[in-house]
């Protein structure tokens, strides 16, 4: 269990060639005689040799690794991150790059530490998926020497390239769908103060205005994207003297909380109250009734981000500093015409 690692030199010695030839074989460089290559490959096989990453990285100055910084992986509000990760992981794999995921627990100091670690010898590019932009790490990132892309980022404006989702249109689509069904009192369950929240909210308000519907502050409540917060928000809404006939929650998790609150009061969805979520996490399709929601292209977001950042590490120019991915309304069974 504790046997000293084999090195390139040893392989070279055993195979009776120079280190360089071994190195060339490992890296698939051409210009190595077939029999030499075979002999070396055999030795590698027998010894179970694997190249030391630190040495390779140090010598080559490249890591073929992309660092991805996320707040957490477990909490409900970060459930959608898994989908992004899947897209990123698949894309990285296709190009034979590695993905290194770091969590920060929403801790400012850790955010900086993790990012610095990645930027200095651990990764060739960094994807920042932190809802809470902090000046501490942003200033570091802005003049670091490796490419960085922010994903679906917070409020602080930065010159860093970014990939975002079209939140404004998302806010519009959900609201318009409910308006089209004939709803007049449409509630909005927002999230924490962030760009995503503000943009979705503005889409909601815009559509109401366009349709001559009043913007009622009572109908705009806040959660933190989590299921319990959606539950609480719904309680408040349904306690209103004149409760809404439709609720637009800007995360699926909060929508589940709304379902829960409605269920406990004996209200049926969509007969008594229509419900639209946001995200389209897999679970949206499992609940009963199946949730009408705004699909974010999360998988594609991860994919795009990886492809883009890899091309950046190759020195390619970015096709536009800001990229925006489209959203889509997915109509399922949680929305219907108002009864009265």
Which among 216, 270, 274, 229 is positioned nearest to 248, based on CA atoms? 274
Residues in the interface with a copy of itself (CB under 8 A) total: 64
- For the record, the structure tokens of 8 come out as 């390139």
Closer residue to DNA, CB minimum distance, 42 or 339: 42
CB-based burial of residue 319 (10 Å sphere; 0-12 exposed, 13-18 middle, 19+ buried)?
Answer: exposed
Task: Check residue 44 and give left, alpha or beta (phi > 0: left; psi -120 to 50: alpha).
Answer: alpha
Query: In the stretch 35-74, what mask flags binding to DNA with x, by CB under 7 A?
Result: -xx-------------xx--xx-xxxxx------------
- 207 neighbors 175 (Cβ within 8 angstroms): yes
Q: Is 50 in the site for a copy of itself (CB under 8 A)?
A: yes
Q: Is 57 in the site for a copy of itself (CB under 8 A)?
A: yes
The Cα diameter of the chain in Å comes to 87
User: What single DSSP character describes residue 225?
Assistant: S
Which among 199, 225, 249 is positioned nearest to 80, based on CA atoms? 225
Query: In the stretch 58-97, what mask flags binding to a copy of itself with x, by CB under 8 A?
Result: x----x--------xxxxx--x-xxx-xx--xx--x----
Closer residue to DNA, CB minimum distance, 16 or 326: 16
Chosen residue from 2, 3, 28, 31 binding DNA by CB under 7 A: 31
Binding residues for DNA restricted to 299-338, rule: CB under 7 A: none
Q: Is 101 in the site for a copy of itself (CB under 8 A)?
A: yes
Closer residue to a copy of itself, CB minimum distance, 139 or 211: 139
Strands 274-279 and 292-295: parallel
Q: Is 220 in the site for a copy of itself (CB under 8 A)?
A: no
What are the beta bridge partners of residue 220? 188
Q: Is 263 in the site for a copy of itself (CB under 8 A)?
A: yes
User: Which residues of the shown chain bind DNA in the complex (CB under 7 A)?
Assistant: 5, 7-9, 16-21, 23-24, 26-27, 30-33, 36-37, 51-52, 55-56, 58-62
């Amino acid at each position: 269990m504790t046997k000293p690692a084999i090195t390139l030199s040893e392989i070279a010695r055993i195979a009776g060639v120079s280190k360089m030839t071994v190195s060339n074989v490992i890296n698939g460089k051409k210009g190595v005689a077939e029999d030499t290559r075979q002999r070396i490959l055999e030795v590698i096989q027998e010894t179970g040799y694997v190249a030391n990453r630190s040495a390779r990285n140090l010598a080559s100055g490249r890591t073929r690794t992309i660092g991805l910084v996320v707040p957490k992986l477990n909490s409900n509000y970060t459930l959608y991150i898994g989908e992004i990760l899947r897209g990123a992981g698949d894309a990285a794999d296709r190009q034979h790059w590695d993905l290194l995921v770091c969590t920060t627990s929403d801790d400012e100091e850790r955010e900086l530490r993790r990012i610095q670690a990645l930027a200095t010898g651990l990764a060739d590019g960094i994807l920042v998926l932190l809802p809470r932009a902090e000046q501490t790490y942003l200033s570091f990132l802005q003049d670091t020497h490796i490419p960085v892309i922010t994903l679906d980022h917070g409020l602080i404006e930065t010159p860093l390239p970014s990939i975002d989702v079209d939140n404004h249109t998302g806010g519009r689509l959900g609201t318009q769908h409910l308006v089209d069904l004939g709803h007049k009192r449409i509630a909005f369950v927002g999230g924490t103060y962030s760009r995503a929240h503000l943009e979705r909210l503005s889409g909601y308000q815009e559509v109401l205005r366009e349709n001559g519907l009043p913007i009622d502050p009572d109908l705009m409540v806040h959660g933190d994207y989590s299921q319990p917060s959606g539950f609480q928000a719904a309680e408040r809404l349904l306690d209103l003297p004149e409760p809404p006939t439709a609720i637009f929650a800007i995360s699926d998790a909060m929508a589940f909380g709304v379902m829960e609150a409605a269920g406990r009061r004996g209200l049926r969805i969509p007969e008594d109250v229509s419900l639209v979520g946001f995200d389209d996490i897999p679970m949206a399709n499992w609940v009963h009734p199946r949730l009408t929601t705004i699909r974010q292209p999360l998988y594609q977001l991860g994919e795009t981000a990886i492809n883009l950042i890899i091309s950046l590490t190759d020195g390619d120019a970015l096709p536009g500093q800001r990229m925006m991915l489209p959203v889509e309304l997915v109509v399922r069974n949680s929305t219907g015409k108002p009864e009265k």
